[in-house]
Amino acid sequence: GQQVMQIPQYQHVQEGEDFTTYCNSSTTLSNIQWYKQRPGGHPVFLIQLVKSGEVKKQKRLTFQFGEAKKNSSLHITATQTTDVGTYFCAGPDRDNFNKFYFGSGTKLNVKP
């Protein structure tokens, strides 16, 4: 199956600081999705990237898909306490397009 690794595992930042999480795949991905899971909550879809080199923005969040479509990043500018949670990337299985695997996740803690 597909293995999608994320770094860092944990990140503690002061409110107002920036945050970035990176997602790496051993194989080329047809697309990548990002989800956020608040503590005690469920994963919530944030965005999907499909094209090589694609960059998408949602307010303070910037998502990038690498040129080789093997890596992706999520950058948050000026974090707020509402950004607390675990951010997962998810990519399709290389052998079965109908399933995808979540990355290991990055847990973000924001100190006020």
Partner 1 sequence: DTEVTQTPKHLVMGMTNKKSLKCEQHMGHRAMYWYKQKAKKPPELMFVYSYEKLSINESVPSRFSPECPNSSLLNLHLHALQPEDSALYLCASSQTGNSNQPQHFGDGTRLSIL
Sites of contact with partner 1 (CB under 8 A)? 30-31, 33, 41-45, 48, 50, 88, 91-93, 96-105, 107
Smallest distance from partner 1 to CB 105, Å: 5
Smallest distance from partner 1 to CB 78, Å: 26
Smallest distance from partner 1 to CB 54, Å: 13
Which C-beta is closer to partner 1: that of 18 or that of 38? 38
Smallest distance from partner 1 to CB 111, Å: 20
Which C-beta is closer to partner 1: that of 14 or that of 95? 95
Which C-beta is closer to partner 1: that of 33 or that of 64? 33
d(C-alpha 94, C-alpha 54), whole Å:
20
d(C-alpha 42, C-alpha 78), whole Å:
24
**Residues in contact with 79: Cβ distance below 8 Å, sequence separation at least 6, in sequence order:** 13, 15, 16, 17, 18, 19, 60, 108, 110
Q: Tokens 């997962």 — which residue?
A: 88
In terms of Cα–Cα distance, which of 51, 43, 59 is closest to 103? 43
Which C-beta is closer to partner 1: that of 30 or that of 81? 30
Task: Judge whether 102 and 5 are in contact, CB under 8 Å.
Answer: no
